[in-house]
Amino acid sequence: MTVNAGAIPPGHWTQDKAVGGGRIVGEGCHFVDLLRHLAGTPIARAHAVALGRHQALQVTNDKATLTLEFEDGSVGVIHYLANGDRSFPKERLEIFCAGRVLQLDNFRTLRGWGWKGFRKLGLWRQDKGQSACAAAFVAAVKQGQPSPIPPAEIFEVSRVSIELQQILQA
């Protein structure tokens, strides 16, 4: 997963450890959650490397590579970057499995290689799934059903995201 998140000034509330918790906890967590969902298995280990630590003015650590190792042996990598150009796409997901590849650009264009009968799907508008997620939650509450995302998975992603942010702030 590559995220061209854009720069936020060091004084912004999201960068304040006590208020916003940092960008990995505030936004990067969604990409940890996405990779956890796609892997379909718990995160066994997580590691973070801040980019630009050698720069004297680097105080926010909002440029990082996050590596997630899953219990089934899958590996997910998130390049969360705040130093890219605005004209470059914001989010790109690439999945390599079983000799095939899927590439999703900005949650609008899905391309496939090695998938019989599928090459490309485009949407008119970006769809990150927030509406469907909220609707599934409301329906579960109304019908007395369990949460669409198991609480243990929510806590796992939250814990891992906090741990990753702490590694970056160390």
Residues 138, 122: Cα–Cα separation, whole Å: 28
Displacement of CA 123 from its chain's centroid (Å): 21
Q: What is the pLDDT of residue 60?
A: 62
From the list 107, 112, 37, the residue with the least C-alpha distance to 76 is 37
Model-level pTM?
Answer: 0.90
Q: What are 104's two structure tokens?
A: 């999703």
Predicted confidence pLDDT, tens digits, the chain (170 residues):
999 999 888 788 888 778 888 889 989 999 999 999 999 999 999 999 998 755 544 456 789 999 999 999 999 999 999 999 999 989 999 999 999 999 999 999 999 999 999 999 998 888 888 899 999 999 999 999 999 999 999 999 999 999 999 898 87
What is the count of structural domains for the chain? 1
CATH number at residue 158: 3.30.360.10
Q: Hey, is 150 helix, strand or coil?
A: coil
Strand partners, 3: 80, 91
Indicate the helix (H) or strand (E) that contains 24.
none
Could you please report the per-residue DSSP string of 29-66?
A: HHHHHHHHHHHTS-EEEEEEEES-TTSTT--S---EEE
Residues 12, 89: Cα–Cα separation, whole Å: 23
Task: Sheet with 109-113: list strands edge to edge.
Answer: 43-50, 64-70, 75-81, 2-4, 91-97, 100-105, 109-113, 120-122
Q: Determine the structural domain holding residue 59 and report its residue range.
A: 2-169
